[in-house]
């Protein structure tokens, strides 16, 4: 019986494949969380970014499911992004937010910006190895 009722155990080494690739990038992020009638603003640091969300380092205690407003500028760009996001994952002080309110223009900007960056997810490592193995066989 599992020590965590309701959670399926995954065989070791098996990982869920992400819907969207993540890319390494670092820049400051301002996070505002609403608690009742109060607003709490915190400074965070982006570690990775995807078309669907952002991974940040934040020295605070947030709970998955909380909705926040994220304010940031992509490096080399002047536009300030103000995006609503929901906290989907937390491990220590590493938080994963899913974007809720990207405009069509922001989605297009990310689609153009992200492929220029280094991949941050393990799926990229697997793809790279397979590509290298295929080229060695030729």
Instruction: Give the model's confidence band at 16: pLDDT under 50 very low, under 70 low, under 90 confident, else very high.
Output: low
Tell me: the pLDDT tens digits for 28-67? 999 999 888 899 999 999 999 999 999 999 999 999 999 9
| Contact assessment for residue 41 and residue 30, using Cβ atoms and an 8 Å cutoff | yes
Tell me: the pLDDT tens digits for 85-120? 999 999 999 999 999 999 999 999 999 999 999 998
Q: In order of start, what are the domains of the chain with their CATH numbers?
A: 23-131 (2.40.10.220)
The pLDDT of residue 14 is 52
Rounded distance, CA 111 to CA 56, Å? 20
The pLDDT of residue 123 is 55
Instruction: Give the model's confidence band at 19: pLDDT under 50 very low, under 70 low, under 90 confident, else very high.
Output: confident
The pLDDT of residue 67 is 95
The pLDDT of residue 68 is 97
- pLDDT of 11 over the 60 cut: no
The pLDDT of residue 18 is 67
Report strand pairing: 80-91 vs 67-73.
Answer: antiparallel
Helices (H), the chain: 104-113, 122-137
């Amino acid at each position: 019986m599992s020590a965590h009722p309701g959670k399926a155990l995954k065989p070791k080494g098996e990982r869920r494949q992400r819907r969207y690739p993540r890319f390494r990038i670092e820049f400051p992020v301002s996070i505002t969380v609403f608690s009742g009638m109060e607003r709490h603003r915190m400074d965070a640091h982006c570690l990775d970014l995807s078309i669907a969300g952002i991974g940040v380092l934040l020295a605070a205690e947030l709970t998955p499911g909380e909705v926040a407003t994220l304010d940031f500028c992509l490096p080399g760009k002047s536009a300030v992004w103000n995006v609503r996001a929901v906290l989907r994952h937390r491990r220590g002080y590493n938080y994963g937010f899913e974007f809720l309110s990207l405009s069509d223009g922001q989605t297009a900007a990310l689609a153009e910006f992200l492929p220029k960056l280094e991949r941050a997810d393990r799926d990229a490592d697997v793809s790279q190895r397979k590509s290298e193995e295929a080229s060695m066989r030729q």
